[in-house]
Structure 1
């Protein structure tokens, strides 16, 4: 009730321990706080906060148009309601190295457990589109060093994403990942891998954990968590899955209302009022103080 019962420090420590464990961590994308509550109740390991999903929800494409303040507020709203670690997309860090350091501190203040920074140039593009350009290794390592230096909680996880596989090839992408790990990245996020063998190559080449992005309609096949774990991957994210599920259902329902004049035909596909109240834990609010919360379920 009224948000998470654990502290941000406890959630960050839990993430560190999870990354050091022998089981892959599964982080579905949370498009809002309610989704994060459901992710926790269904037994996942953490929540991922996608920049692509957030920008889409804001009605703009994923090309770096959302601001640091918007992203931070969105992340805080989600991290406040869940006891799971929350891992947020910080794009290219929202500016030069000093801006990156400030970004990390604001995300810490917002209760986040981790973020990833990418090596694309600005304006950035979705990681599974063609035509991406990346900055030099030197520029990206400056971003990572600034993030590490700006961090105040050593358990806040800084992940480095490389989008270089498509343009530079696998060996060059691995070389970049090694440099990023040497600069202090705690987790490597190789974007748009073509097969399990490429994930295995990263895992074998690096001493830090590897993250897999299982986004739909992208460059990578949708591998199972067990397949990825066998390939040496320590974390998997499903960044835009919940948004796509929701938008598909919303469009179908709106189409039915338009065509038939009623939503009666899709009621059986909806979350019920009772289930919504269960996810929100209405009963705890009701019993908290009967003089104030005096409604009856």
Structure 2
């Protein structure tokens, strides 16, 4: 857990996990609390979801409404809450190649272990929404070269995402992914294939090029597959981006429904953490220990 006096999460750890021979599972977190819950559940990495960040910060859909500064601020808070590596959504890099230079430096300074950059036209959209468009391949190659040049820690992982499958077809998406690997991307993320055959083709053609990311977007356009099968065909990292957000939404709706109908939330409380359980979860015992340690008495 991300104690106030905890050590920095080693970025090298994420690279090790990606080569462990089994798919690395990265549940989505949209704020510091959900990130702590992911870590406490025993997962080795936290994924900062852009979809969830947008929904939690401004209550809006993921259609490019947040600035880079808002995303990086959320990444900083999430990173400060956990000790496991954090992989963060960096959208399009928030501009051209020059903007990408700043974006990479800022995310690296925030302490995250990895980011993914996508080739959508700005303002972007969630990868599982319709109406996307992509920039020219050569422009994205330039942005990735800028990202590589901006990186100061060689263990900071750069993941290249392409949304071209929905726009120009899978052939173009695969060709782009190869070009992005040549530009220096450490891992490849072909977003939103719509059939198992397409998923298997992505794996077959790209798994020997670079580690592959599979986006198990809950309710999205990509068909659900078992974690075992995802690993068998060659994916190294599996994102589960919005399950925590959907679960939190369902829980809040239930509580509010009880409160509205009954006037108090009393009948819903047995299914919730107790007050003391929750304060332990967010680190009150550590605070109390630090108060004693630094009290001056």
TM-score tier by shorter-chain length is over 0.9
What residue in structure 2 maps to residue 123 of structure 1? 123
1:215 aligns with 2:217: yes
1:273/1:80 Cα in 2 relative to 1: closer, same or farther (>3 Å)?
same
Paired with 1:30 and 1:127, the residues of 2 have a C-alpha distance of 17
Q: How does 1:160-199 map to 2 (within 5 A)?
A: 160-199=160-199
Q: How does 1:22-33 map to 2 (within 5 A)?
A: 22-33=21-32
Paired with 2:67 and 2:15, the residues of 1 have a C-alpha distance of 28
Contact 2:204 2:233 survives alignment (8 Å):
no
Paired with 1:51 and 1:277, the residues of 2 have a C-alpha distance of 27
SS at match of 2:268: helix
Paired with 2:277 and 2:22, the residues of 1 have a C-alpha distance of 30
Alpha-carbon displacement from aligned partner over 1:39-78 (angstroms, at most 9, x marks no partner): 1121112000111111111222211111111111110011
Give the TM-score taking structure 2 as reference length.
0.92
SS at match of 2:238: strand
Contact 1:39 1:47 survives alignment (8 Å):
yes
Alpha-carbon displacement from aligned partner over 1:109-167 (angstroms, at most 9, x marks no partner): 11011111111111211111122111111111111111111111111111111111122
Superposed structure 1 runs of 4+ greater than 6 Å apart: none
What residue in structure 2 maps to residue 156 of structure 1? 156
Paired with 1:164 and 1:153, the residues of 2 have a C-alpha distance of 29
Paired with 1:233 and 1:157, the residues of 2 have a C-alpha distance of 16
Quote the offset at 1:215 in angstroms. 1.4
What residue in structure 1 maps to residue 51 of structure 2? 52
Q: How does 1:11-26 map to 2 (within 5 A)?
A: 12-26=11-25
Structure 1: state its 5+ residue gaps: none
What residue in structure 1 maps to residue 268 of structure 2? 266
Of 213-222 and 176-185, more deviation after overlay is shown by 213-222
SS at match of 1:29: strand
Quote the offset at 1:233 in angstroms. 0.7
Alpha-carbon displacement from aligned partner over 1:244-297 (angstroms, at most 9, x marks no partner): 11011111211221122121222122222232133223223323343778xxxx
Give the TM-score taking structure 1 as reference length.
0.92
Paired with 2:211 and 2:294, the residues of 1 have a C-alpha distance of 48
What residue in structure 2 maps to residue 5 of structure 1? 6
Question: Number of paired residues?
Answer: 291
What residue in structure 2 maps to residue 99 of structure 1? 99
Paired with 2:226 and 2:288, the residues of 1 have a C-alpha distance of 40
